[in-house]
Amino acid sequence: MRLISALLVVLAGLFYVAWPAWSAYQLKLALESGDVAGVKRGIDFPSVRQSLRPAATAAIEQNLKEATKGTPGSDLLIEKMSKDTLPKLVETSLDAILTPQAIIRMHAEGKSLRELIKSVKTGGPDLMGQVGGLVRDLFGKKPNAGSPPASPPSDSAAAPIVPESRRLGLGNIKSAGFDGPTSIYLGLARDPATTGPDLTATMSFTGTGWRVTGLVPRI
């Protein structure tokens, strides 16, 4: 009986500690070396997209409020934007953020996911362009001539290799625990000297292995 109990403890340790730790380490190496295929293997992008939607919505909604501050009829403008424009901005922003290349580039440049969400430019009109279009629709203002919107970064662009000074280690992990019977979470901070996490990552067993299935930045 003791032997069976000990064996179960060992198996549980292998399943809940060793296996996800190895998967996280492989993802870390992929991020640091610019290995796009490795990042794809380590991250469940559809699940992560779902987990990021509330944070992206909150961040972009705040940007919209700041962009329309002082605009005549701003309450009406915000109401219309929340219904018509905000969901589109969220989805196009997530399209720009959630690619292996964008995640690698973010890490290589030392940016946080929170910063990336707040500063992202979509493939169509940027935030101020969207605001300007709605102002014209509501109040009949003429558009100003300007440069065409910037194109989103190409997924085929070469991914940069992360500098040694920005590589993750045990000091970046600020909290850990179970998030369900087959899920664990890690609270991560870019600066090891900080006391709290600025990103919570969820890893789940997907049937074939452990992958990142959730990312929730502190907005």
Q: From CA 92, how far away is CA 90, in angstroms rounded? A: 6
Q: From CA 197, how far away is CA 175, in angstroms rounded? A: 7
pLDDT for res 81: 66
Instruction: Please give the residue range of the domain that contains residue 170.
Output: 2-217
Q: Quick one: tokens of 73? A: 């009829």
Distances (CA, A) of 185 to 31, 129, 203: 19, 38, 6
pLDDT for res 90: 85
pLDDT for res 62: 77
pLDDT for res 155: 45
pLDDT for res 148: 43
Residue 215, pLDDT above cutoff 50: yes
* Cβ–Cβ < 8 Å for 160, 104: yes
Top mean pLDDT of 43-47, 67-71, 130-134, 141-145 is at 43-47
Convert the pLDDT of each residue in 152-198 to its tens digit: 444 444 455 666 767 788 888 999 999 999 999 999 988 888 888 98
Number of domains forming the structure of the chain: 1
- Predicted model pTM: 0.75
pLDDT for res 41: 95
Question: E strands within 73-152?
Answer: none
Residue in this structure with the two tokens 């003791």, named with its chain if needed: 2
pLDDT for res 97: 84
Least confident of 1-5, 50-54, 185-189, 208-212: 1-5
pLDDT for res 70: 67
Q: From CA 122, how far away is CA 106, in angstroms rounded? A: 16
| DSSP code at position 218 | -
Convert the pLDDT of each residue in 106-164 to its tens digit: 888 888 777 777 665 444 445 445 444 444 444 444 444 444 443 444 444 445 566 67
| DSSP code at position 173 | E
Average model confidence (pLDDT) for the chain? 78
Task: Give the pLDDT mean for 25-48.
Answer: 94
pLDDT for res 78: 67
